[in-house]
Amino acid sequence: MAQSVQDRVIAILAEQALMNVSEVNLEATLDELGIDSLGLVEAVFAIEETFDVHVPFNANDPLDAQFDISNVQSMIKAVEGLVAAAANNPA
């Protein structure tokens, strides 16, 4: 059975946080998960590779990105939007 976007994003974040997926709360911030700026960049790369999308993310100023990283749920929603857009606009 194929994993959902949510499951895959949580797995990526759990790997970066060195946590079990069951420990990742949807309302948790990256800070609360212990994901630092390098972990965030690695998570963004993993998301791009996993979903074959381009994440509009500014590593120099993550808070100014067009990719909501305020919590796990917002990241999932952003990735779902990127996946849907990619499906509607194949390269």
- Cβ proximity of 4 and 67 under 8 Å: no
Please state whether the predicted TM-score (pTM) of the whole model is above 0.75: yes
**Length of the chain counted residue by residue:** 91
- The CATH class of 5-82 is mainly alpha
SS (H, E, C) 55-86: CCCCCCCHHHCCCCCCCHHHHHHHHHHHHHHH
Instruction: Give the tens place of pLDDT for each residue, 56-85.
Output: 877 667 666 678 888 999 999 999 999 999
Quote the CA–CA distance of 24 and 13 in Å, as a whole number.
8
Q: Residues 30-56: what's their mean pLDDT?
A: 94
Quote the CA–CA distance of 66 and 60 in Å, as a whole number.
13
